[in-house]
Amino acid sequence: MKYCDACNTTYPNEFQTCPKDQTVLRTMSELRSGMVIRDKYQILEKIGAGGMAVVYLAKHLAFNELRAIKVVNSRLLDDENFLRRFRSEAIITRKLQHPNAVRVDDLDSTEDGRPFMVMEYVHGKDLRHMIQNSGPLPVRRALGIARQAAAALAAAHALGITHRDIKPDNILMTDTGDSTDLVKVLDFGIAKVREAGLESAHSSTKTGMVVGTPQYISPEQAMGRHGEEIDGRADLYSLGVVLYEMVTGRLPFESDTPMGMLLHHIQSIPPRAHEISPELRIPQTLSVMLVHALEKDRNLRYQNAAEFIAALDDVEQELRTGVTGVVTRPGMSSPGSAAAARARSAPAPAPARAPARPQPASYSARQAPPPARSSNWVIYVVAAVVLAGAVAGVYFWVLKPANSSAQANENHSTLLVPDDRLAADVRTALGNSSEIKSAIEVSASDGVVTLRGKVTGLYEMQMAESLTKSVLGIKDVKNELQYEKLSPVVDVNGGGKTPAQEAPGRQKPAVEKPRGPSTADKARSRTLVSQGNTQLDQGEYNAAIASYQQALDLDPDNGQAQSGLARAQKAKATEDEIMRRR
């Protein structure tokens, strides 16, 4: 870009002299202190840099307020896929208005065409700095920090935003001027932007690409999964690792190599937090809660941020009342899950020495934390991760679940919860879930729970079974739920009328089509799901809903369309609620 030394204004490269004062312009490859971009943001200083972007502290001239500006690296200007994702993620992240999330204020481009994102400037330091300077945090303080971070995740997940890189470096501790902690979670959407850039640059090795920070990455990310295969449960796993580090002062796993750390997340069981350093007096309830949060199988973890927060509240309640032991919550599997049962009954693993953690960036009180270095949060694992992932995948996805299931059944079978209590707990779990809309009949006999009734679709049926399995004391679940398929009917007299077209009381017997959707219909349905996923990523919720509904019209059994429709409708409802409150 071109720059005027006299008035500090920037111009496109085509300009030769400043229109304001006729000063000859100079070419600048980077922004520098004093520059004014778009006539409203004055650059004060550079406060961070990474492979993707440079972060500057700037002043909004009209408002006389500080802002953090993230400017895309000039070498990425030719990557259309990256730029498109950067803009779309900025737009959708702008909708996230939560007191515990760093706010995105604006999206623009510099005079030479480099996109930049304008964000709320947070005065303070990150959680990494606090842990390394203070060591293990008091349990109550750690619970409060984790709760605020989880609240930000809950708001983001409701909009369909998955962070993908939760770590202490992205959790800012605002300087409030008193002893209270105000948490701000940074960089929502940035990891997904990075993932898109890497996919375009390494399309031939996508399966060997891991995006995330090895010390905090979820097992599914460590396995090389990406895109729609990663959801909010990955964020909750990473937040569990952060909470573990806050209360123990160390990570749950140690390794001298990134690959070793990835394999730990895929297959290793962490030492129980309360046994690492007894002098820290970590409640056993918190230790069990962390085991549940760090489950390898995401279906056994907390299924949403609300469950995670509820588990934190259980631990806080124990600390307030002084009542020790495991606090249970009907419908949640925290203490009653297979993992929790293993944590209470299995021999304690030998405590590991503190793993080497990434070195924090040092910055002054005026600085916002810089983006994590690419060596910390983006790892290219091509042939190695394919091989190691295959070995670990065989262990985790084939051998491990069978073993875990057997152990879970063994532990559950010893609990002997009365059948009437089981049925009541299941009803509570289903009633507390926003995903369950239908009335479901629940019965129990000898620890086996049976679900009956009609639900709206395959997604609700599967969710009901998953919630039921999470309840303490269940031996098995018989899922006899049914969901209606919107199949056209044929009038026996050849009229071809639908039930809605028949006069009341005169409907003819309906005959289902003898066969399901054609191969072409299924292919078109999958295409519409992919289209809906893209629209959902871009925040076009109404368009996404329409695409998913069209996909279901073609193939009512398309589970991805059903789950996508549920996510889009939830995101749309959340956005409408946000707009209503403004």
**Positions marked active-site:** 165
**Residue 70 marked in a binding site:** yes
* Angle (deg, nearest 10), helices 559-581 and 458-469: 80
Cβ neighbours of residue 244 closer than 8 Å, sequence gap 6 or more: 251, 252, 270, 273, 290, 294
Cβ neighbours of residue 203 closer than 8 Å, sequence gap 6 or more: none
Cβ-based neighbour number of residue 162 at 10 Å: 20
Q: Tokens standing for 197?
A: 């850039």
* Angle (deg, nearest 10), helices 559-581 and 541-554: 160
Q: Give exposure, 39-69, as e/b (b: 16+ Cβ within 10 Å).
A: ebbbbbebbbbbbbbbbbbbbbeeeeebbbb
DSSP state of 512: B
- For residues 250, 254, 259 and 260, what is the CA-based torsion angle, rounded to 10 degrees? -150
Tell me how far CA of residue 539 lies from CA of 379, 504, 526, 542, in angstroms.
28, 42, 20, 9
Instruction: Tell me how many helices (H) and strands (E) the chain has.
Output: 19, 17
Give the per-residue SS3 of 149-202: HHHHHHHHHHCCCCCCCCCHHHEEEECCCCCCCEEEECCCCHHHHHHHHHHHHC
Cβ-based neighbour number of residue 276 at 10 Å: 23
- How far is residue 85's CA from residue 193's CA, in Å, rounded to a whole number? 6
3-state secondary structure of 19: coil
Cβ neighbours of residue 340 closer than 8 Å, sequence gap 6 or more: 288, 291, 292, 326, 333, 334
Q: Residue ranges for the binding site for ATP?
A: 70
